[in-house]
Amino acid sequence: MLQNIFDKDPDPPFCFVWFEVYKNYDALLVHLANTALRLNLVLNSGLGTDFSIELYGTLWDKVIEAMNGIGVLHKIFKNLEVAELKDKIINK
């Protein structure tokens, strides 16, 4: 994991965001295979009224399968601007 940020969303008063950047898909797959992470995601999904994971970029099928296997609501955004931002963070 190259970057990990937990912060308050500026608009809704009780909304938080957690942003992570990974070097590559292999690093993300290792993270998603972590049993403690999977348990944490499932348990935290019940803490609030709206818990979901957003993934940005063109993802490997293996990554999509891993996300589907966790059982937590997620959405994939094929957004090149975010992928370019990730490349800038990695290559600085």
Print the domain residue range for 14.
3-90
Closest CA to 51 of 70, 64, 34: 70
C-alpha 76/C-alpha 60 separation (Å) is 11
Residue 27 pLDDT greater than 70, yes or no:
yes
**Strand 53-56 to 74-77 pairing:** parallel
The residue to which tokens 């094929």 are assigned: 78
> Is this prediction's pTM over 0.75?
no
**Coil, strand or helix at 16:** strand
Domain count, the chain: 1
Q: What is the mean pLDDT of the chain?
A: 80
In 1-92, beta strands by DSSP E: 3-8, 16-21, 53-56, 74-77
